[in-house]
Amino acid sequence: MDASHLKLALCVAAGGALGALARYAFAIAATSLMGAQRAYLGTLALNVIGCFVAGFVVVLITRWFSDPAVPRAFLLIGVMGGFTTFSAFGLETVQLIQAGLWRTAAAYVLASIVLGIAAAAAAMALAFRFSTAN
């Protein structure tokens, strides 16, 4: 691995550690607020927030950095990759189905997809306005 790839790998690792810690703290808070039976709502909120933040950050990175490789590696691949979790989404959906909660599972899947895409689009529009105003 050459020096530039090593630098990017370290950025991803550092960002991933921060994102994973933030996700862990968020999961603890969501479970204590909503209870273990509704932990999937915390994952839904986390993924929607993650989509929003990723949409906002990707615009700012491309507008503010002539070489976006390092901030992209750290913030998008690292922090946001560690913060959001599709694997938990899949597992929780299966668990809802196994518990016979088909409607809840379907609503969860639909809400995750629709709200995630809407959050990313809204954040990108907001970031374009924000970065143009300054």
Residue written as tokens 């899947």?
A: 109
Residue 48 near residue 115, CB atoms below 8 Å = yes
Q: Residue 68: what pLDDT? A: 92
CA angle, 126 then 128 then 132, to 5°: 120
Hey, is 53 helix, strand or coil?
helix
Q: What is the DSSP string of 67-92?
A: STHHHIIIIIIIIIHHH--HHHHHHH
| pLDDT confidence tier of residue 134, bands split at 50, 70 and 90 | low
pLDDT digits over 39-75, tens only?
888 889 888 988 888 889 899 998 999 999 999 999 9
Q: Residue 16: what pLDDT? A: 95
Hey, is 2 helix, strand or coil?
coil
Q: Determine the residue type at 25.
A: A
Q: What mean pLDDT comes out for the span 25-33?
A: 92
Residue 78 near residue 44, CB atoms below 8 Å = no
Residue 89 near residue 43, CB atoms below 8 Å = yes
pLDDT digits over 74-101, tens only?
998 899 989 987 777 887 899 899 999 9
Q: Residue 5: what pLDDT? A: 94
Interior/surface letters 21-34, b for 16+ CB within 10 angstroms, e for the rest: ebbeebbeebeeee
